[in-house]
Amino acid sequence: MNNPIYLDYAATTPMAPEVALAMTECLTLEGDFANPASLQHSFGERAYNLVETARIDIAHILKCKANDLVFTSGATEANNLAIKGLALSAQNKRKHIITSATEHKAVIDTCKYLESVGFKVSYLKPEHNGLINLDKLLAAITTETFLVSLMHVNNETGIIQDIAGIALALQDKELLFHVDAAQSAGKLNIDLSQIPIDLLSISGHKFYGPKGIGCLYIRNRKQQRLMPLMQGGGQEYGLRPGTLPTHQIVGMATAFKLAAHSLDKDNQHTQHLAQLISTQLKQLDGVHFNGDQQQKLASIINVSFDDVGSDSLMINLKDQLAIANGSACNTGTIEASYVLRAMGIEGDRLYGAVRISFGRYSTEKDIQHAGQCLYNEVLRLRQLALEL
């Protein structure tokens, strides 16, 4: 095989061909390229209608009101708008946030910034399997708590938090619940008409859509007066100024509709692939699958190999496999995973952990070849270590 096999879908997914086609129709003079705010002419009206149709389509899948969705540049901005926007709003008088130590940096670093300006943040440590203990979460709530922010699916381990159970437990509390659904949207069913989530962040490039576009759901948006992160035009109800990228919004909505339509098929496919590669890797001694193996997304596997460092494994397999150690939120860095460390994982299991993630366009042949490459390289590196 001349090209490496791409197994880093948790970092970003390849764009669906249908999405690329829909986007190109919004880019040139012959298409709907105009500024959606230019309602003085038909070009702008057509672009505006495409944006609003996309908003309705996304809302239909999430089962929420279309005007409760605010378009952003992705989940990172949506997380910032949700957390900072609520914390710094004129309405908010409280100073305490609860989150977890295994959140994405977009949440962790946002919370750290708020700590620097006087807020208090509780970073809950998960159980060894990566799951948040509900009793510990409830015990952390004080009269100063105004927000709980937790991710639905962890980007490094694939662990699925019981968001529905947590939301119901928080429903009678005087606080809001924010969910980072970057890794779950388009892969798990999210029904906002049934789950009392107050704010939810999604990102188009995690479900075969374009990069640079996402959205924030704000339940009863008109009542939640978030402080905007930027000032400018009045776009997105004054919460997110700037010319709306029609092509990206159309692309995200197209990708989300495709994902909703093929949800069961995609999940069956990734479950089958996960079984294939797990069976291959289990033939090795000293293999550890990190995190709960039942309550997880099949398409993300976090695995450690005794006596093999993840950096050595990734460097030596670079021309064959595109895998990761941890997340892609620390650009270009290779370091021990803070997520696994928060789960109490140390030593070889921490430093030998790699993330394998796959999806709709991964094939059985890809996965079987990847499993064989990993198997052979682990044995080779262990033998080298013995000879030194």
Phi first, then psi, for residue 141 (nearest 5°) are: -70, 135
Residue pair 266/105 in contact (Cβ under 8 Å)? The answer is no
Place of tokens 């937790």: 150
The alpha carbon dihedral of 72, 190, 303, 3 has a sign of: negative
Buried-state track 4-30, b at ≥16 Cβ within 10 A, e below 16: bbbbbbbbebebbeebbebbeebeeee
Residue pair 180/201 in contact (Cβ under 8 Å)? The answer is yes
Buried-state track 82-98, b at ≥16 Cβ within 10 A, e below 16: bbbbbbeeeebebbbbb
Buried-state track 187-199, b at ≥16 Cβ within 10 A, e below 16: beebebeebbbbb
Distance in angstroms (rounded) separating the CA atoms of residues 220 and 112: 27
Which of these is catalytic: 26, 64, 329, 373? 329
Residue pair 370/317 in contact (Cβ under 8 Å)? The answer is no
Residues 6 or more apart whose Cβ sits within 8 Å of residue 21: none
Measured torsion, CA atoms of residues 312, 316, 321, 322, in degrees rounded to the nearest 10: 50
Residues 6 or more apart whose Cβ sits within 8 Å of residue 233: 37, 241, 242, 243
- 215 tagged catalytic: no
The residues that are catalytic are: 329
